[in-house]
Structure 1
Amino acid sequence: MRSVRVVYRKYDEKLHWHQWCHWLGEDQYGVWLGAPTNSVSQRGSELKVTQTQPHVQLFPRDQWFTAIFNDEPRSTEIYCDVTTPVEFKDDVVTMIDLDLDVIRKRDGTVLVDDEDEFAEHQVKYGYPADVIAKAQETCDWLVTAVATEEPFLTVYKTYLDKIR
């Protein structure tokens, strides 16, 4: 199975979350990668984290977000990062994490996380006005989309089946 390196960075290019995943396919929603149980991820140079359940990740083309879909019994079903559009180069996928996260819990609750970090980083990193506006617009759209639109309803389940 083809391996792909996933690399999230912060606006100052500092390494954020990164891991190796398996290529699962591409459809109208974007590129799907999967990480099986016991896969490893790491934030910057911190200690590695071993995943206890499989998950799949969606990397849409020309969109300002990425999404992680977790297998049961994890309480967070969907975790969306607001990011710059993903760049694909060879077997590496990169993007800039813009702090805002939209989370759908398994019970259907939807929440926005890290709004304080987003506000702080606008000043610290000097986010341009158009980046701030696009990030907020994407976040607002995701709050509704994760509960009402594909691929957040059923499509991702076919990819979870592949990585299990």
Structure 2
Amino acid sequence: MRDVRVVYRKYDEALHWHQWMRHLGEDEYGVWLGAAALSVSQRGNEPEVVQQQAHVQLFPRDQWFTALFNDEPRSTEIYCDITTPVEFAEDVFTMVDLDLDVIKKRDGTVIVDDEDEFAEHQVRYGYPADVIETAQATCDWLVTQVATEEPFLSVYKTYLDRMR
């Protein structure tokens, strides 16, 4: 297994969240990476954050989102970032975070977060109309998917088991 650098940027190319993750494999849903408990991530140049639980992340090909799956006991089970499609290089995955997030709590509650940031950044960064439309449509689609469809129901658990 190899390590891959995951780099989220904002629309102005500013560095956002980034971390190293372990390549776990690829299936019909996309490429899976994982991070063990006590792994480190960082937002921009802020201090590093230690992740208490293991997590895995799905990077779909040609889709406008990424999905993070947290181990228990974290209350957030699934965290989907609406992004531009991932640019895959051998050891770096890069995408632009488009603010909107679809979150599924462990109790089954699904919420959309950062709609205010999405509206603000449309103006600040001048998101093109097609980016706004695709981001919103992807967000709306994910709200149903995370509660009813794979890989959000059980597929991710196989990868999470490997990171424990």
Look up the match of 1:82.
Answer: 82
Q: How many residue pairs are counted as aligned between the two chains? A: 164
Look up the match of 1:16.
Answer: 16
Look up the match of 2:73.
Answer: 73
- Aligned mates of 1:123, 1:52 — CA distance in 2: 36
What CA deviation, in whole Å up to 9, does each residue of 1:91-141 have, x standing for no partner? 100000000000000000000000000000000000000000000000000
* Structure 1: 5+ residue stretches without partners: none
| Aligned pairs (5 A) from 1:10-159 | 10-159=10-159
- What TM-score does the superposition give when structure 2 sets the normalisation length? 0.99
Which portions of structure 1, spanning 4 or more consecutive aligned residues, are displaced by more than 4 angstroms?
A: none
Shift in Å at residue 158 of structure 1? 0.1
Q: CA RMSD in A?
A: 0.4
Identity percentage over the alignment? 81
- Aligned mates of 2:115, 2:18 — CA distance in 1: 22
- Aligned mates of 1:94, 1:159 — CA distance in 2: 21
* Structure 2: 5+ residue stretches without partners: none
